Structure 1
Amino acid sequence: MGLLGIAAGLALLIALAYRGWSILLLAPLAALLAAALSREPLLASWTQIFMPNAAGFFAQYFPLFLLGALFGKLMEDTGSIKVISRVLMDRLGMRRAIVSVVLAGALVTYGGVSLFVAFFVIAPMAEDLFRRAGIPRRLMPAAIVLGTSTFTMSAMPGTPSIQNAIPMPIFGTTPFAAPGLGLIASAIMAAFGLWWLARAERAARNAGEGFGDDRPPRNVTEDPKLREHANAAREFDPAELARGKAAAVEPSFVAAIAPLVTVIAGNMLLSLVVLPSMDAAFLSEPRWGATTLSAVIGVWAVVAALAAGIVLALGLNYRRLPLLRDTIDAGVNASVMPSISVSSLVGFGAVIASLPAFDAVRDWVLGIGGGPAVSLAVATNILSALTGSASGGLTIALEALGPTFIARAHEAGIDVSLLHRVAVISSGTLDTLPHNGAVITLLAVCGTGHRESYRDIAIVSIGGAIIALVAILLIGGMVGSF
């Protein structure tokens, strides 16, 4: 009955989440169903396991959600994302339309802009460029996904994405864990995705296929079903995108890109130089959580870098923002629902991991051949696919099995930095199944559907990520982390 309870809980979570049910209610219901079928005490499962673990995740990562969402909203309302994207698209021109859209998405997301903010700003510009270049509309979502949701989310060293931050307190790593392997994986994902999209563009031109018909995108900000999908998938509540007011005068390119450069450079400097050199012996005291610098350095670096980017964005654009308070309010409010939604998924995973039958699941995962890195990759892929959330699946896998993987890695002489990079890349592979909230939202924003566009999305995101993951596992297995 225990394994049946786990399967029933996951089935309920997947089925109702795909139909747009709120994860805030759905996650505890699914957890309680699994506990009931396993004959575990229901109230204790909810208040003593689900809630402490959900609250622990929220407490640890909410600063990242908060500052990331605020930074994204500031970059949107100041017009900085639009300026950066337009400059890239103008410089590369219609002959390299797909490359320009990919680069625009990659630059702004690697610089710390929230995924959904990038979707809503880049999609209209990509639509205009694709129309003028005669490239089918159906390829727009795949180009945007490649730039925003693949290598800059999971592979690029130093990326400020929440997925890259989740393993840091568990493994004691920084955002730049396994930088060489991360760069190799990024190059594979980008090269494979661009090759496929170029191939698809040539095939469309040879078949005489143009941009297609004009159709209005769905209003995602007012669609409650799409909003629920989005909140469980990424770190920005799309309902807040319509709030605030954009600046009437756009910034210069230098002023637009300066906050992104600040986040990237600040993250690197803090992770590799400033924070490692500080005296943090005080952290061992109970009032500071009796922790170590290695457990917090990664989160501290990203938080401080985002804060510096926010301060610079405000300083450069203070006089141009017509409704500064509304913009700030919208940014911080946009962080609340996604952070609580992902925290609820973490609570669900904690209840599942506490069930006696989960020991059989743990033994199966750890029994997979290839060592702890391969076992971790399989577990993270499965959980991210089932939940439709890279951050949710990654956290559930690491909270349930992280200490075991660390012990196994030490026994095998494997650097935990390799586990960090493998885990993050694994979270961004099968999470992009059709029920993924980001996929559903992006298709709505681009005015296309699964039938038209999902095949190309799956190939550039899932296909490229799996190839990169296999390469990293092989290289890491032969030469270790670097």
Structure 2
Amino acid sequence: MGLLGILVGLGLLVLFAFRGWSVLLLAPFAALVAALFGGEPLLANLTQIFMVNAAAFLAQFFPIFLLGAVFGKLMDDSGAVASVATFMARRLGERRVILAVVLAGAMVTYGGVSLFVAFFVIVPMARSLFRAAAIPRRLIPAAIVLGTSTFTMSALPGTPSIQNAIPMPFFGTTPFAAPGLGIIASLIMAGAGLWWLRRAEAAARRAGEGYGEDMEGAAERAVDDELVREYATTAREFDPAEIRHGRRGELSAPVVSAILPLAVVVAVNLVMSLLVLPRLDVSYLSEQRFGGTSLAAVAGVWSVSTALGAAIVTTILLNWARLPSLRQTMDAGANASVLPALSVASLVGFGAVIAALPAFETVRDWVLAIEGGPLVSLAVATNILAALTGSASGGLTIALDALGQTYVEIAARSGIDLALMHRVAVIGSGTLDILPHNGAVVSLLAICGLTHRDSYLDIVMVGIVTSLLALVAVIALGSALGSF
């Protein structure tokens, strides 16, 4: 009955989440159903397991949600994101339209701008470029997904995405874990994705397809769509409902003022991870008032948080005149972080209840027995859970909460570098999460005024297939050569 309860709980979560029900309600309900089938005490599971683990996730990662959303909103209202997109369009747009859209998305998201902020700025730019080049608008979502939700989310060393931050406390790693493998994975994703899009463009030109007709007002309707909002807030760290709040400046940010904060994120993250934190005396962390922890458990979050904080200050100083209401902008950014953080924390609480059930031992043993070794089983576990939840961050956290310590022990026995575990786990979470119910996919299609029938095949090819190819390459190279 316990195993049946796990399956029923997962089924309820997936079914109702796909129908747009709030994860804040679904996750505790599904967890209690699973506990009920297993004959476990309900209230104890709710307060002592679900809530404790959800709160622990918030305590650990909320600074990244908060600072990332504030930074994204500042970059949006100052016109910096639009300036970066315009810069790429002018440099590449007339000759290489798809490449310009991909690189614009990659630049802003690798620099720490929230995904949904990037969507609302890059989509209008992409429409203009694709229309002028007579490229079908149905390819716009795939180009944006490739630039914003593949290699910059899971593979590029130092990416400040929440997905790249989640394994750090479990494995004691940094945002730059396995940098060589991350770069190889990024090249595979970007190269294969661009090849597919160029192929699709060529086929459309031969067929004389043309751009098509835009659906007017699609982005505005997407902002007001509650179903889109429910999907979106489990996918990334920005609540789309806040995109209209705050006040945008009337002047466009110079490209230097727009790009410099993005560079600050990467540079400060690197310096903190590799130079500053390793040299600090942090023996005080072992004291109980600081949780009796270690630098390895907090260094990654400290690095990313410091980098985002430095970028926020840089954005304000460089764009002061282009931020007509700084308080409103920062309030909107802060508010935008709350619902996504709580939604993912609820998924974490659900996973903790499932992992605490006696029947979960059967699931754990099955996962660890998957042929191919621990790297393959870790990739399978993160893929499955990200697919079920439609959330890379939620699926990754559930997998590591349930199995992270086990994989640390296996790595110690097998001589596997934990940095390699980190990179495999993150790339694994960013593959099958891009299923039809993924919040980023639903939101992007709504903003573009397109449907799954129009664009989803191309999204699968550039988002899922390329990531799976990169994941296989990382596992093969890591198994043969170790982490590098």
Structure 1 counterpart of 2:92: 92
Moved over 4 A (4+): none
User: Please, which of 247, 250, 253 is the counterpart of residue 248 of structure 1?
Assistant: 250
Structure 1 counterpart of 2:311: 309
Q: TM-score when scaled to structure 2? A: 0.99
CA distance in 2, matches of 1:79, 1:8: 47
Is residue 81 of structure 1 aligned with residue 81 of structure 2?
yes
1:193-216 CA distance string (max 9 Å, x none): 000000000000000010001212
Tell me the amino acid that sits aligned with residue 449 of structure 2: G
CA distance in 2, matches of 1:131, 1:365: 48
Structure 1 counterpart of 2:329: 327
User: Please, which of 264, 268, 276 is the counterpart of residue 278 of structure 2?
Assistant: 276
RMSD: 0.7
The residue correspondences of 1:146-185 to structure 2 (distance < 5 A) are: 146-185=146-185
1:92-146 CA distance string (max 9 Å, x none): 1233000000000000000000000000110011011101110001000000000
1:339 deviates by: 0.1
Tell me the amino acid that sits aligned with residue 308 of structure 1: A
The residue correspondences of 1:418-457 to structure 2 (distance < 5 A) are: 418-457=420-459
SS at match of 2:433: helix
1:222 deviates by: 1.2
User: Please, which of 286, 291, 294 is the counterpart of residue 293 of structure 2?
Assistant: 291
CA distance in 2, matches of 1:360, 1:466: 27
How many residues are matched? 482
1:382 deviates by: 0.4
1:223 deviates by: 1.1
CA distance in 1, matches of 2:93, 2:336: 34
Bigger CA drift: 98-107 or 209-218?
209-218
Structure 1 counterpart of 2:26: 26
Structure 1, unmatched stretches of 5+, are none
Structure 1 counterpart of 2:134: 134
Structure 2 counterpart of 1:223: 225
Tell me the amino acid that sits aligned with residue 161 of structure 1: S
1:25-78 CA distance string (max 9 Å, x none): 010001011111111111111011100000000110000000000000000000
CA distance in 2, matches of 1:321, 1:469: 41
Structure 2 counterpart of 1:404: 406
Structure 2, unmatched stretches of 5+, are none
SS at match of 2:322: coil
CA distance in 2, matches of 1:4, 1:344: 21
1:237-277 CA distance string (max 9 Å, x none): 00000111111111111011111011111101111101111
2:5 touches 2:37 (CA, 8 Å); kept in 1? yes
2:35 touches 2:357 (CA, 8 Å); kept in 1? yes
CA distance in 2, matches of 1:88, 1:7: 47
CA distance in 2, matches of 1:295, 1:107: 29
Structure 2 counterpart of 1:43: 43
Q: TM-score when scaled to structure 1? A: 0.99
1:319 deviates by: 2.4
Structure 2 counterpart of 1:417: 419
Structure 1 counterpart of 2:261: 259
CA distance in 1, matches of 2:249, 2:351: 43
Tell me the amino acid that sits aligned with residue 290 of structure 1: G
CA distance in 2, matches of 1:387, 1:172: 25
CA distance in 2, matches of 1:251, 1:42: 54
Structure 2 counterpart of 1:381: 383
The residue correspondences of 1:58-73 to structure 2 (distance < 5 A) are: 58-73=58-73
Bigger CA drift: 420-429 or 286-295?
286-295
Tell me the amino acid that sits aligned with residue 141 of structure 1: P
2:79 touches 2:322 (CA, 8 Å); kept in 1? no
1:297-346 CA distance string (max 9 Å, x none): 11100000000000010111122211211111100000000000000000
CA distance in 1, matches of 2:295, 2:131: 51
